[in-house]
Amino acid sequence: MKVYYHGTTVECADNIRKHGFGRNREVSYPREGLIWDCSDPDCTYMYSEHDEHDEGDAANEAEGNAILSAAVSGSQASHVVVFRLEIPDDVADKFCEVDYSCENMADRGAFYIDNDILNQLIDDGTIVLLSGDVGNYNPEFRWFYVAQLVNQDFVCFSQSEMENIEMAKRLSNGAFILDY
């Protein structure tokens, strides 16, 4: 059995619980579209606790991505959700692919699986899906979370959003200067 973790916003988790991964996207955010521009909308991305990555690392990576997703999307919830997917070894070997979509993802134990296959395997009981509310996300600090992104090219921000991010970076670095 291989174990994977997928972190997401409360809003997306509710939709996943109702409809499955990638199905009937009812989630509405202040921002439109995908959260990560480098992602395939027909796949679910997750972290593995196998190989050099232990359970804590994988769960923490998923939680970190969930917090960033909440910040980027404008989620108003005070926490995020991490799904735990328990997948039989032979099924994981067949359907879970190493994630090379963004720099260093493969090195961090990231994988992806097609949503239709994932939902079918959950529906037929092959994959066990568990979830829990985690994290301490504060929507009022969303720009400080987003400012931590090393490469913001993977997310499209408006000019106004970029100004908020730049202000959060300056505040985080202690270099806040008032311009009059």
Report pLDDT for 38: 62
| Mean predicted confidence (pLDDT) in 102-123 | 90
pLDDT score, position 148:
72
Q: Which residues of 1-40 are buried (b: 16+ CB within 10 A; e: fewer)?
A: ebbbbbbbbbbbbebbeeebbbeeeebebeeeebbbebbe
Query: What local confidence, expressed as pLDDT, does residue 161 receive?
Result: 75
Higher pLDDT, residue 146 or 152: 146
Interval 27-66: pLDDT, tens: 554 444 455 556 788 899 999 986 665 557 899 989 988 9
Q: Give the lowest-confidence range in 7-11, 131-135, 160-164.
A: 160-164
Separation in Å, CA 30 to CA 27, 33, 65, 137, 170: 10, 10, 19, 17, 24
33 backbone φψ class: left, alpha, beta (φ>0; ψ -120 to 50): left
Judge contact between 75 and 10, C-beta under 8 A. yes
pLDDT band with cut points at 50, 70 and 90 for residue 83 = very high
- The ranges assigned to domains in the chain are 2-172
pTM of the model: 0.81
Q: Among 13-27, 28-42, 56-70, 83-97, whose mean pLDDT is lowest?
A: 28-42
